[in-house]
Chain A
């Protein structure tokens, strides 16, 4: 009797399991369909030179590559680096190309995964045979791809230069200050723009950069006649920073360098405790125009201001107007353009990196009919001595490609003193001694 019942049980379970397996397979197929068809943007773009409105660009094409973090788990999606580089390519091809050569770019998303980044690097170097990587924003993959890049003798020009590779690798060329300069810059801004000699540091704890920055703050402070302390660690995802604000307030410090935790929250939590310190930050991270209205802060920025137009940066803004108006003031992506991702300088750093690449090719003297090689680019970069790319970059100086690049000692400043984000010194950079 019980055996029969068991059999019936078994049969029905088998049926259920069969159904379940079918469900799973259908689900898998369906979601693959959705994934493949449902997404309109692909992660690769090969932008061919369009029919140009300017002088004809007819030289041999130059292919550059880019590895940028677009869809990183746990972070907001961003396509800024890719969009700006695409825009630069279109603009440049319409305005004489690079030393008479048309440019194409192949862009890959490293998704915050070093393996994907490595794979992208190999594809760009070995299959697409790009002459340079330009405008990277790939902090997760940088260390991993360093050996591959160096072995291929292909230069990586600029982009977001927080990573250690820009300090330690002969193939990485920062178009803007490396992390060491940025840290110094924050202290400099405290001393010279806020006019106090003591600052607390409220720093993240999620990654190695957070821990690695602390000794640098401590090292540079005395050189500026400053004291650093207290140094408080906080998670980027805390519900509030009241306790941190109170601890710092108790120590009588009036300026806080915020590196990681969301600025807006820190400022409002402190304000509620009757504590309105001057806040210093890097690259306007988290500083939208709304935040600028409420918080009086100073920020060092790695690239030229994207929130204020200058004659030298006209081309950038014209290109935005033509190809990506959503990134302009009033556009629906302006807020994140100014403040989002790994800082509000992705847009300008990408553009500046591309311009640096262009200048390097021009420096190398390659004729429009010749094929431009990585060696040409490296040679052209080695001629950068205090190069400002027409005023849009801090003075850039590079070596000959056999050693890591020297420290790029200069940076720009931004301030919200007037309630809007402005560049108090315009495009005049401040520099380390």
Chain B
């Protein structure tokens, strides 16, 4: 134990600073829902300020430190809060890229102004040591530890006891409610950001003497604090601080033990990122609450040029790029890298732009592909093309390795996990022999040794064409994939994963598949890079460049695959033509600023600026040949049953049954002892006051919630153990209380997905490719469903442009298009006026009749219930209080008491259908007596 003590102490000291940094980070995340990747950049700014004031301006260090922490901190916090407010309603992709942009800005700033500072930051705290238990501890270490502990303890107490602290917790839970108490949520958040930012500045200033004046170093250092935040589940401040201590101590102990076991040699360096990755993967999903979840605004452009125009532009682009060797002269290697970077952008686009998943480790994937390529082509002397193919295949398990655990994460947590993975790769694996070898400048690699049409592919010109060919092929493949089923599924995924899953598509498979595809593309880019340079080393693939990629890909306002061209040009070609110092830094500054301001400019993301769209339309008219109009199958000729495939699902009429259902959340019981039968060919109502447990019951039936006890039976089969997508494919479809449409898709595409999602299922191949007859089946299902719901005229309208009533009908149409024989409709008439509701009821009845489905409907509108329900179940406080026909329900005293209070003498007489006035009669929140 004695021999461990020095390591413990040294670990605790540094760990305390990690904890301090992480606590500030968690505070701002909790109160604003923005995970500030740039937390370390804030710390960097404080160090720059401290350096400027103390060294350049000669101020005494206490004054300099005070200004850097207590003046810069709060000001920075206010600015950050402003930025957070800007980001409040955008999707998580833009949130992440905005903070990434901030990192780029600060690093660029540091490089421009302090880029030539070589000395370490001078110490300012007393460095004398005192001996304690056989260990020498510096006074500065003690002071740092005390400061860190005091601050975090004070914050924890403040959070629990002080009025402002309590309000901060309130803002987290329900900002609207808080504002009703007269407190401004914006004000409260400002305080939170000011505190968080001050903590970051404090940790920067405390860490400064140990580091260079280098923005990147500090940013990376605080990244190690992310692991601490993960240990605290991004939520508990004390746990986060302890997490920091764990990381510090873990690193110190790992150093001690790695001496004896060389296999652990790189562990101390990679430990924080390993912790981050592992914690994110193994933490139960319920603990990683995605704060302030807002409907993500998809980044996929909603406009494409007509296909023929796209092809024309594509050919023109290839021709132009083909001429590059004629004019590039000595810059040809840079153009080659530009073409390779296009592939890298495509790889990221498949994730970020097509499916809304953010990956911050593309360069890591590229590095793995590069290492594989070098080993195969040079080490194993395989033919170049074969080596390339093998290197690409190696990327599939690597992509899966990251994706499978990370896939259950979403939004910012996925980005974090990939970031941790990327940095882990760089810090632990880039230097390992099996990756880039043990030679001094890495692993040798080579270009293809062959000639094609007299062109030597080993030459600079020849290899440029090789890279161009690969890039073009991959671009075409990606465009085809994203135009086909995979693209449709991914667009739906980025709009509403929940809806997609409840329609039968295994979202997990889709996500892993996309990741593997992305990893493959990035790996190919890496393989081409090492072939170009004839050698491979880790420093060619710095993890931080993955951040620049992400920033760029979101700010380029054009579609696939052109954003890849523009992005690659901005990153590689443009800097090479501008001479002068600091060019790359100014560019990074620009990229970073653009990423921060992106939410202002992205808007609806129509896909291209107006003038370009007009040009494209005009071009299309000029081109010879007929323009293809989308085909609409003639409705009358369709066999409805065959179109919707319902006949295949069995003839059992029993429908949906629930036995002995009990759902308990902690101490609260949502539903208890519920038995319910919803047969096919009938409409069954499930009603009750708000909070009675109706939606919970739905969620159990469709598989979104695991019950505490009870079984769900579909057509006589127990489906209690099945997942959401499987149940959908078995026949359960549903709509949601808050409509879950695929907002960026058209009405037609929404309805089509209702059918197509189930076809994709959980088969990898089916996610990508549709079978020949499936397209026709889908089209017919769309036609039938649109006809039934009467929205045929709206087929080409964007879902987010519809009115409330139309949205409800669309959701119903989508459900009707699916191969379901049981539909769970959750308050489908909410928001509809009286006549719309009536019409809705008629549509539903017709649908049940024509399609022979069973419907279980949750409703508050009694008129609708009366109109369509054959049988009704009434829930109150999670218990079934009545079951019977609708007239019986309306006459029941028990039911009326549940809705209107227990004093039945004061109750008005039961409502008759003819008395229903023009305004909808909805029975809402129970009132007292």
Q: Which residues of A contact B (CB under 8 A)?
A: 2-3, 6, 10, 13-14, 16-17, 19-21, 23-24, 27-28, 31-32, 34-36, 38-39, 41-44, 70-71, 73-74, 76-78, 111-112, 114-116, 118-120, 122-123, 126-127, 139-140, 142-144, 146-147, 162-165, 167, 179, 205-213, 215, 230-235, 237-240, 242-244, 246-248, 250-251, 262, 264-265, 268, 272-274, 288, 335-336, 339-341
Contact = CB atoms under 8 A, between A and B. Distances in A.
6 smallest A-B Cβ distances: which pairs?
A20-B601, A39-B580, A122-B330, A243-B255, A118-B333, A123-B330
Contacts of B256: 243, 246-247
A295 B120 CA distance: 15
B255 A71 contact: no
Contacts of A116: 334, 576
B609 interface: yes
A32 B578 CA distance: 8
A119 B332 contact: yes
Nearest to B256: A247
Residues of B contacting A: mostly: helix
B151 interface: no
Contacts of A114: 533, 540
Interface string B118-147: 111000000101000001101000000000
Task: From B3, B115, B580, name the one whose CB has the most chain A CB atoms within 10 angstroms.
Answer: B580
A39 B581 contact: yes
B268 A243 contact: yes
A3 B803 contact: yes
B323 interface: no
Contacts of A10: 604
Contacts of A3: 803
8 contacts: A20-B601, A24-B601, A77-B581, A140-B539, A207-B431, A208-B440, A232-B255, A340-B118
A163 B440 contact: yes
Given A28-B590, A122-B330, A230-B259, A42 B579 contact: yes
B557 interface: yes
Contacts of A13: 603-604
Contact of A250 (B3, B443, B555): B3
A207 B590 contact: no
Interface in B499-551: 532-535, 537-540, 542, 544
Nearest to A125: B330
Given A211-B438, A237-B217, 13 more contacts: A16-B603, A71-B581, A123-B330, A207-B431, A212-B439, A232-B258, A233-B265, A243-B10, A243-B252, A243-B268, A247-B255, A264-B120, A272-B136
A43 B440 contact: no
Interface of B: 3, 6-7, 10-11, 14, 17, 111, 115-120, 127, 129, 135-136, 138, 207, 210-212, 214, 216-217, 220-221, 251-252, 255-256, 258-260, 262, 265-266, 268-269, 329-334, 336-337, 427-428, 430-433, 436-444, 460, 532-535, 537-540, 542, 544, 555, 557, 572, 576, 578-584, 586-587, 589-590, 593-594, 597, 600-604, 609, 801, 803-804
Contact of B533 (A27, A118, A234): A118
B600 A164 contact: no
Contacts of B329: 122-123, 126-127
Contacts of B601: 16-17, 20-21, 23-24
B801 A31 contact: no
A10 B801 CA distance: 10
B440 A239 contact: no
A31 B586 contact: yes
Contacts of B138: 272
B590 A27 contact: yes
A74 B545 CA distance: 12
A273 B116 CA distance: 32
Contact of B582 (A6, A39, A146, A340): A39
A273 to B, nearest CB: 5
Contacts of B593: 27
Nearest to B269: A235
B602 A127 contact: no
Given A116-B334, A164-B439, A212-B440, A272 B120 contact: no
A211 B602 contact: no
B337 A115 contact: yes
Contact of B330 (A73, A119, A238): A119
B540 A119 contact: no
A208 B438 contact: yes
A274 B136 contact: yes
Nearest to A264: B120
B576 A21 contact: no
Contacts of A272: 127, 129, 136, 138
